[in-house]
Structure 1
Amino acid sequence: TPEQFPSVVNLLAESYNPHVRCGAAMALGLACAGTGNREAIAVLEPMLNDAVNYVRQGVLIASALICIQHTEATCPKVKMFREHYMKVISDKHDDIMAKFGAILAHGILDAGGRNVTVSLLTRSGQTDTMSVVGLLVFTQFWYWFPFSLFLSLAFSPTCLVTLNQDLKMPNVDYVSNAPPSVFAYPPALVDKKEEKKEKVETVELSITAKQKKRDLQKKGEKTDEATAMETDSDEKKTTTATTTIDDDTKSKKDVDDKDKVTSIEKKDDSAVPSNKKEKEPDSEILHNPTRVVKAQQRVLSLPKGSRYQTIKDITHAGIILVKDTQSNEPETLVELAKAGGPTKEEDLPEPPPPEPFEYRDD
């Protein structure tokens, strides 16, 4: 079983032979695919910094197979692995084989728009032959890179679709008895934008300009003392009067500036929002059809007083037939979306006929 397998491969993962270490990592990824097994991740995590490039490649792919469709709530190491994949991909000095493994791993985590998982078993618990063959050929990508495309044979959709007796989709609601963040889509990647620092011109106050002017005047008076002996006493009185007036105005402006700064600080303190988080609900309502990951199946249920009853247990997910307990009342069906978007065919312009041409067989 996947729970017992990590203890079997643990010693092989520490082997001196790099081929054995790579094989042990890939075996862990295939046996524990989609389970988020913490013991398997604990075996793989020290091997992320292995000295051999193809061992790191196998570890990256195996970790993605284990963590597919898992969030931080169900598998806390998912965020660390995602960051490590991006680090290896963006590192110019890392080996090309490790980069190829990181690119494959990142693609596996986001496969099928994050709506599929890797599973070797069918919903009834039987071995899925197509998945086994797909993973078998996928492991030979080292020989020919296009073999990696065979991994798509092992993908199975994680959905819940209910159909009535006419094989049409009625409007049915389900209850997921878990917080929405536990099984939600992972957040999209955000490109980090470099903030360019703009040079700000320093603004010179009128007070400092006047002070510099006075300093220059004082220096000029000291150098020209011999020539300035003939100045009158009236001029000295006027200069002293102007300096006292300037000092008074300077002190008043300083007081006003301090008052403005304190008032601005008070406004900023009052404008800071509170960091109180809203309490997350304990459950959420899902609508037919919906995305239901493998770990979410066991917490699904129909709401009380539901009009429909499932013929098979709803925890199996997939395509399930339902029985209408109120067949006398009109039934509302899910509107099917047209392929290519919601545009109306009448609004589309008619394509022009092709221009005449001559075909020459040289």
Structure 2
Amino acid sequence: MQIITKSSLQSSPDRAVDELLSALPEGRAPSLAILSGNHTQFDEHALAKLSGYCPTLLAGSSCLGVMTQAGMAQGDGVGLGLFALYDDDGAYGIGSAVVGDDPRRAGYAALESALADVGRAWQTPDLVWCIMPPGKEEEVVGGMVDLIGASVPIIGGSVADNQITGDWVQYVDGELCHDRVVVAALFPSGSIGYSFSSGYMPDELSALVTRVEGRHLLELDGEPAADVYNRWTQGLLNGMAPGSSILMHSTVNPLGRLVNAADGYTEYLLSHPAELTAERGLQLFTEVKVGERLYLMHGSMESLISRAGRVADTACQLLEEGHHPVGALLVYCAGCMLTVADRMPDVVKSINQEFRYPFLGSFTFGEQGCFLDRTNRHGNLMISAVVFGAD
């Protein structure tokens, strides 16, 4: 097994793809290729050239660019990265489906197509890697679980653009799309270690969800959710009108749900408040349910910088005994990336200190992952790592 990653800062999509391809061996197609980067770099002509060389290709946009072990590759209209996995003894298939008005069915159909593509329709993959549009991630993941059961890790991210204007994009079957769930079913010859976490800690403040409509959180402990959140954050929402975006304001203080992943081990699945609504509610980027307890979380610049390296290290520790890391895929929330801003090179440094192998990292508008309890979930402001190992 071999993994090659490469990024480009070329402004021309054609030249950027040529630079990515220059890192790959001639005459040998990758078993699996994953492309991520600035949505402005997604050009059908350029990506057709890449697809011709990498037939098993998943491609989705990432906020502003990507990161690899070589550093950050992002900027105004630049930033493209490629992950190429060579595994002659493994098997990999890809599939896609339009999300449409039945996201659960789309998740099922996309994964069903991927298993058919690899010729293992009745087998359970070791892992599913997914790329999907923001909005209905819980239902899409639920459809995949309907097909393969709850024990297979489903990991990936929601495609992103640069300004949250809906310009995110996927490249599927030779076309640019905005509404597809794209998945890869992985049957590697080696082992896989994975980790899903955040750089946030809980405060003592918490309340029960008492009224919610999908992703619209209306009441906490019987009070308007925005009033509770504003009190918890000491007036963070003061002066804001209904309809105001609060994404950047709330990044440091998201809401979290406690997950008891194992004996003596706890994690929190985060929800990012996105908008103050006319009902004094909070529009979230995840679903929550009546009766769930939400905690006020807090993050620091240092924790957001150092956490990615620790997540990669944790994934390494979960490889099969005797296997060494070969490379990794990382998902790092775009909200965290925008908060860390010009200190993102320190994030890459922290990863390289813990993980001295090739990796590709995307910046997403939602993260799908699996805690140690082996339950697949969708969250915000999260970090995930999938490490590939070989003997």
Tell me if both proteins adopt one fold, taking TM over 0.5 as the criterion: no
Higher strand share: 2
Higher helix share: 1
Higher relative contact order (CA 8 A, sep 6+): 2
TM-score bin, normalised by smaller chain: under 0.3
> Who wins on radius of gyration, i.e. which is larger?
1
